Amino acid sequence: MRRAWLAVRSALVWTISLLHFGITVPVLIGLAIFLDPRKHDWLQRAFCRRIVFFAGAKLEVRRASDFDPQRTCIFIANHVNLFDPFVLYCAIPQLVRGWELESHFRIPVYGRLMKRFGNVPVPDVRRPSDLKRMWRKTRDAVDGGTSLIIFPEARRTRDGRVGQFQDGGFRVAQQLGLPIVPVSLVGSFQHHRTGHWMLRPAKITVYLHGTIETNGMSKEEVPALRERVRKIVAAPIEQRLRE
């Protein structure tokens, strides 16, 4: 009986969410054509809050005491499901964009929205010329005061645990001297699992951990930095899975 109720509820929630997405996104794209997205950031945040609300999730944000919302950073987060970017945009109190696979920019409607908002395309094929273009766009974004979200696992979890991190985002942080803020999404796996369509009522807690400085780090220190950040991100997630 409970599973049947969850199935009916999920179907209703998906319908409402898709209708909301289909109506709101063209408006945001239209605004981005004529206005700098910074001018209507409040509207984008309201859109993300409704996405999370309609999906049946409650959001809680826990910030470290040294978190500075005015400081341009690279936010390193675990990747659970397709709601992650919307959850993070609700939780991070500053202008932020993300690294996004270049193939996602070809998705109808969604891809145009990501392009207009200034997300940085990550090439699916890592040729030197493509990587240089990604590097240039990343530098332009942070030089303009835009923080970036990076999912270093490069894939969504299938078992709720945090996978191995790739080096790319850490190399960028080290070479640009940008601070890193590790981010843990706890409860997202209980809300929605990639590969399944069921949406369960859940509380998602976003932990914005203490800031890690990279200024002055050498490239030889990147692997240790990567593992340090992964342990910080994974700790509250592993605790939740043990409960």
| C-alpha distances out from residue 130 to 102, 123, 125, 126, Å | 10, 6, 8, 6
- How many of the other CB atoms lie within 10 Å of CB of 169? 25
Is the confidence at residue 232, as pLDDT, over 90?
yes
- The SS3 assignment for 135 reads helix
pTM for this one? Answer: 0.89
**129-155: average pLDDT:** 87
Which of 84, 70, 80, 83 minimizes the C-alpha distance to 181?
A: 70
pLDDT band at 119 (very low <50, low <70, confident <90, very high): confident
User: Which alpha helices (H) appear in the chain, and where do they start and end?
Assistant: 2-34, 41-54, 84-91, 110-117, 128-143, 168-176, 188-191, 222-242
pLDDT tens digits, 148-186: 999 999 899 999 999 999 998 999 999 999 999 999 999
pLDDT tens digits, 69-85: 989 999 999 999 989 98
* DSSP letter (8 states) at residue 212: B
User: 180-186 and 202-208 as β-strands: parallel, antiparallel, unpaired?
Assistant: antiparallel
Give the mean pLDDT of the chain.
88
For 193, phi then psi, to 5°, come to: -105, 130
Question: Residue 27 has what pLDDT?
Answer: 77
* DSSP letter (8 states) at residue 105: G
Is the confidence at residue 11, as pLDDT, over 80?
yes
Question: Residue 183 has what pLDDT?
Answer: 98
**4-33: average pLDDT:** 80
**59-72: average pLDDT:** 93
Question: Residue 22 has what pLDDT?
Answer: 80
pLDDT tens digits, 39-53: 778 888 888 899 899
* DSSP letter (8 states) at residue 44: H
Domains by residue range for the chain, with CATH:
2-242 (3.40.1130)
